[in-house]
Amino acid sequence: MARKIGIIGCGNMGEAILAQSVKAGKARNFIIFEKDKLKEAFVCRIYKVKSAIDITDLLYKCAVIVIAVKPQDIDTVLEQIKKRVEVFKKRDILIISIIAGIKTEYIERRVSVKIRVIRAMPNLPAKIGEGITALTKGAYATDRDLRVAKKIFDSLGVTIEIPKERLIEVVTALSGSGPAYIFFIINAMLTAAKALGLDNKSANQLIYHTVVGAMDLHKASKFDAEKLISQVASKGGTTEAALKFFKDNKLNEIIYDGMFAAFKRAKELSRK
Ligand SMILES: NC(=O)c1ccc[n+]([C@@H]2O[C@H](COP(=O)([O-])OP(=O)(O)OC[C@H]3O[C@@H](n4cnc5c(N)ncnc54)[C@H](OP(=O)(O)O)[C@@H]3O)[C@@H](O)[C@H]2O)c1
């Protein structure tokens, strides 16, 4: 019984972990606890998993707890974990937190025992098994814990290990927020295409295949992005006109500064 994996919070990311694990045939391993009882009932019905009565019940039944609540809800959850750990002297749990900005040291201190903590930074394409998750270990977590976490997040796409926890803030600004940057660019391209006369459906179809095709080519090619740009942009041509405009208006610097802004915010949100 105690080998189960508990998920606290079944919103976007908690449900994504569950959905992809169920797809990989691992539904039986999971128990969930969600504050919103309507959502909890829905998730249990769709994925055919059980829910815990409360966090005590979840801790009793699970060896691994994935915390997937918003940063503002973490203290309530850790307070409950701390109480249960103290009362039941149950220290043999692994906590996996996917919460942006919450350091492993913060969780260790709040639970106030030598609790094993893994910090994970997934991203939204995890919903369809195309995500990338960065994992890092807390002070008391072991390589085995890292492997346990990797097994869970491998169902969501690719998993990489980041040995230095401070670099998780960089990962947050890159792959955590990154899908939104791409959607932002897609939206700008869509607006321009429609302003130039294309209908919504055709423009979306053209953009979709352009983005996916470009990424697939990038993956398949031995060239880096700069070389691939030169393969599209012929001298005096249309692409060159757009690229010149981007460069003249310092689009590369804007993206650079935007990522630094995300990194700075991730650090500000980061709790010591
Ligand atoms: N979304 C992303 O792309 C992304 C990427 C990387 C990391 N993350 C991290 O993932 C975490 C979750 O994000 P999300 O987008 O999945 O948030 P979300 O959709 O708001 O899901 C969080 C869920 O947890 C529930 N909850 C709150 N307090 C709880 C408690 N004490 N016990 C049980 N359930 C509780 C919430 O219920 P209520 O709605 O009723 O409060 C909500 O259903 C965040 O900390 C975020 O930093 C998100």
Last residue of a domain, one of 171, 201, 226: 171
Query: Helices marked H in 121-250 — which ranges?
Result: 143-154, 168-171, 178-195, 200-220, 225-232, 238-248
Q: When comparing pLDDT for 260 and 90, which is higher?
A: 260
**221: containing domain:** 178-269
One domain for residues 129 and 223:
no
pLDDT surpasses 60 at 272: no
Atom of ligand 1 nearest to the CA of 55: 32
The protein residue with its alpha carbon nearest to ligand 1, atom 38, reads 36
Residue to substitute in 7, 8, 12 for testing ligand 1 pocket (most ligand atoms within 8 angstroms of CB): 12
Q: Which pLDDT value is given to residue 17?
A: 94
- In this structure, the answer to whether residues 153 and 189 fall within a common structural domain is no
**What pLDDT was estimated at residue 35?**
95
pLDDT digits (tens, 9 = 90+) for 154-203: 999 999 999 999 999 999 999 999 999 999 999 999 999 999 999 999 99
Q: Kindly report the CATH number assigned to the domain that includes residue 88.
A: 3.40.50.720
Q: Using the mean position of ligand 1's atoms as its centre, give its distance from the Cα of residue 8 in Å.
A: 9
- Closest atom of ligand 1 to 36 CA is 40
Ligand 1 atom 21 nearest Cα = 11
Is pLDDT above 90 for 27? no
If DSSP codes are grouped into helix, strand and coil, which group holds residue 146? helix
271 pLDDT tier (thresholds 50, 70, 90): low
Atom of ligand 1 nearest to the CA of 16: 16
pTM for the predicted model, two decimal places: 0.90
Q: What's the CA-to-centroid distance between 23 and ligand 1, angstroms?
A: 21
112 and 137 in a single domain? The answer is: yes
75 and 195 inside one domain: no
Is residue 112 very low, low, confident or very high in pLDDT (cuts 50, 70, 90)? confident
Q: Does 93 lie in the same domain as 12?
A: yes
The separation between the first and the last C-alpha atoms of the chain, rounded to the nearest angstrom, is 34
Structure tokens at 56: 């005590």
Is there a contact between 7 and 33 (Cβ–Cβ < 8 Å)?
yes
* Mutation choice for ligand 1 from 33, 35, 121, 135, CB with most ligand atoms inside 8 A: 35
- Specify whether 166 is located in the same domain as 182: no
Residues 69 and 189 reside in one and the same domain:
no
Phi, psi of 171 (to 5 degrees): -60, -40
- Where does a domain end: 153, 171, 189? 171
Task: Express each pLDDT in 215-267 by its tens digit.
Answer: 999 999 988 999 999 999 989 999 999 999 999 999 999 999 999 999 999 88
Pocket of ligand 1 (CB under 6 A): 8-14, 33-36, 39, 68-71, 73, 76-77, 98-100, 121-124, 176
Same-domain check for residues 167 and 183: no
Q: How many CB atoms lie within 10 A of CB 208?
A: 11
Q: Please say which residue of 171, 196, 220 terminates a domain.
A: 171
Among residues of the chain, what percentage have pLDDT more than 70? 97
For the chain, the domain total comes to 2
166 & 83 share domain: yes
- In the reported structure, the alpha carbon of residue 209 is separated from the centroid of ligand 1 by a whole-number distance in angstroms of 32
* Whether residue 252 is found in the same domain as residue 151: no
Average pLDDT over all residues of the chain: 93
Answer whether residue 135 shows pLDDT above 80. yes
Atom number in ligand 1 closest to CA 99: 45
Q: What is the Cα–Cα distance from 191 to 180, expressed in whole angstroms?
A: 16
Measuring from atom 18 of ligand 1, which residue has the nearest CA?
A: 11
Are residues 85 and 202 both part of a single domain? no
Q: Is there a single domain that holds both residue 91 and residue 138?
A: yes
Rounded Cα gap, residues 101 and 269, in angstroms: 5
- Provide the pLDDT for residue 25: 83
Percentage of residues in the chain having pLDDT higher than 90: 84
Q: For a substitution probing ligand 1, which of 44, 66, 72, 73 has the most ligand atoms within 8 Å of its CB?
A: 73
Q: Whose CA is nearest to atom 46 of ligand 1?
A: 99
Ligand 1 centroid – CA 80 distance (Å): 17
Tell me the pLDDT tens digit for each residue of 96-105.
999 998 999 9
Q: What is the CATH number of the domain that holds 221?
A: 1.10.3730.10
DSSP state of 176: I
Confidence of residue 114 (pLDDT cuts 50, 70, 90): confident
